[in-house]
Chains A and B, each alone.
Chain A
């Protein structure tokens, strides 16, 4: 599948702080999706970005698609313990298939 790099692999955050995780591709993407997997759970779809420069918000989560459609970011403000988990970006390849990044695992210090 298509390679997509996700950084950082681990993010340790103090509760209340902000952080950002990034997803980078060497090729132009038609769209990008983000998923969240809670500890012991399964990946759950969060959002899809399609347009160049698109920004979407879900409460404290802000998702952005780069102008060149080669990268994306997820920014979380005022991190809470409920944000703990692994966040994956996923990019399409072939028909209906997705290639997932390795994920950013977030832990929160209370």
Chain B
């Protein structure tokens, strides 16, 4: 079974803090994704990585950056967290169908 894990299920941060969300997959997938999920908006793609050190902006990259130093690990970085980044963050990997991690519910106060 594909396993995608995320570093935290719940996270509370203050405005202006730097936030790191980690994602690890164990299926040797080249493609990894970061989404945010908000009620009524579905899943919106933040960033996509198709190989180590390779990344591509998604629909809503503003305020975020990513890092992919190893194939199995894809990190999402909020350089200076803001309250409008309070959301559920989902990591996924896969070539056609996507396999999702459990999600990190981030609250920025």
- A55-73: which have CB < 8 Å to B? none
Q: Is A44 on the interface with B (CB-CB < 8 A)?
A: yes
**With an 8 A cutoff between CB atoms, is A22 at the interface?**
no
Interface size class of B (residues with CB under 8 A): 20 to 34
Are B48 and A42 within 8 A (Cβ)?
Answer: no
CB distance from B39 to the nearest CB of A (A): 9
Output the least CB separation between B100 and chain A (Å): 4
Residues of B within 8 A of A (CB): 31, 33, 35, 40-45, 48, 50, 56, 58-59, 90, 92, 94-103
Q: Given A43-B92, A44-B100, A100-B35, output 18 extra A-B contacts at Cβ < 8 Å.
A: A1-B59, A42-B100, A43-B43, A43-B90, A43-B98, A45-B99, A48-B96, A48-B97, A94-B56, A96-B31, A96-B50, A97-B33, A97-B48, A97-B58, A98-B45, A100-B43, A102-B40, A102-B42
